[in-house]
Structure 1
């Protein structure tokens, strides 16, 4: 069955009119045309009226009709001008059913701007999407050395307070670098066989971090496809504790909602968000999701994280002391991870769905931090957030190489490529929270 586009905003800002050629068949999610007994006709033949199959035998769909199929029990996507019914397959999507649901009734084609498609082809020809096993092996070795060194110091010097503080910082660095490595294993094909990649992802995320892989995938993949888009990006759904962007503060203010004194949210960001993101919010949410959704494999793997800690540190600190050590490390890691993950998104544009093309969506919602050896290591190369969002399956050791090409493409199309010093990036988190607080105040106290 064929589809006709009606009127819809295309990636380059032009309108696709009703006289455009038909754009493909309606497919099931397995990419096979539905068995409807109709012959396939090329778009050009159909447009010229020279196809062997009469035009009336093909079912055409307007955008208005497609956009009605955006419910969980009825989901259509448009990819490369073909209509796909993904309703029955959505629950089996590797990134979770919400990833598809966020695009239901929309054009889900990733590269709509021809220049961006050309850039991607160029990067593929340059082998920029091939991961270096040596690079990631060295990263894993760094983490393991820190873990072993912490235990050796404890074994040799005992569990006095100075040694406990030292090993806590070593384990904190290990945990933070593990966060970056699990981010890699969640996005990349580091190994040729996917089963080894899945195994490494579970090892790093569950065994080294103590968090659920499926919980992270379900949450993080939504963030990548719709960054800073309400209500599709779970990373900006931080109400009622914080109000971010322009829309949430105005909504709360106009409705006279004041769960907390939002005027001071930039201050309690330091007291609440920075220290408690990892040990409380992420940790408890991961456990809740694993239990409620019966992620048994993740439960077993996460259990191995705690077993490892009790075996390694239990003889020195006991059960209660080991639990305190685990959460002390998560407490120390939390400000690091909170700043690195939030500096590139919270200060950027937040909006409701605007159906922008992939390039614009990602660039408007992200910013970079200046490159240096320290910044690359400290952020796990997430200082190249624009490149990471445009090419999520690109290994991070190649971000620096492709950044000049991305910057040139943004300049050509009038998109602002934001690149700032790391301390300014950290400060912009608080400044954006103050700005949002001011918007809330104006709306709340408006007579």
Structure 2
């Protein structure tokens, strides 16, 4: 690191200029350009500027998610996901400081939440209860064991197959919450051990690639409900969550598949949720064979690098599908195998996706410009929806009913979130940050109402286009 007198200072104009793409059609630099180009690419963390071009992505354990913060004040996102040791390693990429006259996202709300985080760390709250996670693992094993027992002993009866589908869907949902916890490094202090455990829970038991999921989910946590940045709201042409997603309707004058889907999205919403798990399973397989992963151009998500991660993940996916296909065939025969598997996928998709929808869908969606002036903690609050209710609600949602607290402190074990919710709510009141909590069914109503409003706007735009022909 250069002496203080030689430290270069940067303006936001310089920092954000490093993110510009080659043309109006590509306003921001692509991941491939960042990896292959020697041009500097900057992020800011606690007023220090780092160059994340070139080999940074190959080094970064989280892979490409760091690039969602290009040209941004990434202080909050960095603190949420990294230990103190990461700061020392990051020093290798330090190139200067933010000019003292330039603003950051830091404010009194950040100070209070940072103080809360420091206190939780000092109290050992970030250390998990191994007994809790062992109990959750036993629960999912019992659900699966019951499902397979009923299928085997039912001798192909309709009732046994329906019960198997419902219980297997529930098993995938609850295993999903458990793998989510582990891959947020809530279980073990060793990131490598969390990754191995997550591979077993995600790839083998659930049949979804944790590499694919990690890439998608990390980007979501980095930029929740930010238009064109958060992959969880990039659901066109099937669902549109904001007027910003309706750009294609500015010129639509005749029926298209996308126009039909969005125009009827409140009705199609729940049927689409049923297809979600099959879509994720397909994307998981495609992710493992996508160009850039097989040839090693980009890093694998997580601790293990290509090819180790790919071999482990493919082995896990093969084991999952072999076990499920052969197991169902053995219990009910080939003729009934496909319907049973299809039904269980439908149930699993609904049970998983309905909770995901409650977390953020229907909440405030920000433009990239708005996100640039919104700190990490405030972004977690205004884009998240908590679901209050009983212990059953918390069990069903895997603790994600404390979505706001989870986004603020993603590595805080699930069983600690309820203990800080009241304090977080109080801090939001103190700093006038809107904190939204609702019931399970009223939350779903909010989601559908948002879809209905956007659908109505899409139909209005199409009608206007037809009149102006």
TM-score, scaled to structure 1: 0.83
Is 1:438 aligned to residue 451 of structure 2? Answer: no
Is 1:126 aligned to residue 75 of structure 2? Answer: no
Counterpart position of 2:151: 154
Task: Specify which of 404, 411, 416 is matched with residue 434 of structure 2.
Answer: 416
After superposition, give the CA deviation of every residue in 1:328-376 in whole Å (9 maximum; x if it has no partner).
Answer: 2111111121211011211101121121111111111111011311100
Gaps of 5+ in 2: 20-28, 80-105, 295-309
Higher mean alpha-carbon deviation, 103-112 vs 227-236, is at: 103-112
Aligned partners of 2:126 and 2:186 also within 8 Å: no
Counterpart position of 2:248: 252
- For 1:189 and 1:362, the matched residues in 2 are separated by 19
1:106-185 equivalences under 5 Å are: 106-110=72-76, 112=106, 113-185=110-182
Task: Specify which of 69, 84, 90 is matched with residue 57 of structure 2.
Answer: 90
Q: Against the structure 1 CA distance between its residues 91 and 445, is the aligned structure 2 distance closer, same or farther, given a 3 Å change threshold?
A: farther
- For 1:255 and 1:361, the matched residues in 2 are separated by 32
Q: Against the structure 1 CA distance between its residues 444 and 313, is the aligned structure 2 distance closer, same or farther, given a 3 Å change threshold?
A: closer
Task: Specify which of 382, 387, 395 is matched with residue 364 of structure 1.
Answer: 382
Cα offset for 1:323?
Answer: 4.2
After superposition, give the CA deviation of every residue in 1:184-204 in whole Å (9 maximum; x if it has no partner).
Answer: 111024123333211110011
Counterpart position of 2:267: 267
- For 1:91 and 1:327, the matched residues in 2 are separated by 38
1:32-431 equivalences under 5 Å are: 33=1, 38-39=2-3, 41=4, 53=5, 57-70=6-19, 71=29, 72=34, 73=37, 74-87=40-53, 88-97=55-64, 99-110=65-76, 112=106, 113-249=110-246, 251-256=247-252, 259-261=258-260, 262-271=262-271, 273-279=272-278, 281-292=279-290, 293-294=293-294, 295-319=310-334, 321-353=336-368, 354=370, 355=372, 356-431=374-449
Q: Against the structure 1 CA distance between its residues 254 and 394, is the aligned structure 2 distance closer, same or farther, given a 3 Å change threshold?
A: same
- For 1:431 and 1:64, the matched residues in 2 are separated by 40
- For 2:213 and 2:122, the matched residues in 1 are separated by 31
Aligned partners of 2:233 and 2:241 also within 8 Å: yes
Cα offset for 1:131?
Answer: 1.2
* RMSD (CA atoms): 1.9
Aligned partners of 1:75 and 1:101 also within 8 Å: no
Q: Against the structure 1 CA distance between its residues 165 and 118, is the aligned structure 2 distance closer, same or farther, given a 3 Å change threshold?
A: same
More helix by share: 2
- For 1:395 and 1:96, the matched residues in 2 are separated by 23
Aligned partners of 1:347 and 1:432 also within 8 Å: yes
Q: Against the structure 1 CA distance between its residues 207 and 320, is the aligned structure 2 distance closer, same or farther, given a 3 Å change threshold?
A: farther
Counterpart position of 2:90: none
Task: State the SS of the aligned residue for 1:77.
Answer: strand
Greater relative contact order (Cα < 8 A, sep 6+): 2
Task: State the SS of the aligned residue for 1:102.
Answer: helix
Cα offset for 1:311?
Answer: 4.6
Q: Against the structure 1 CA distance between its residues 274 and 59, is the aligned structure 2 distance closer, same or farther, given a 3 Å change threshold?
A: closer
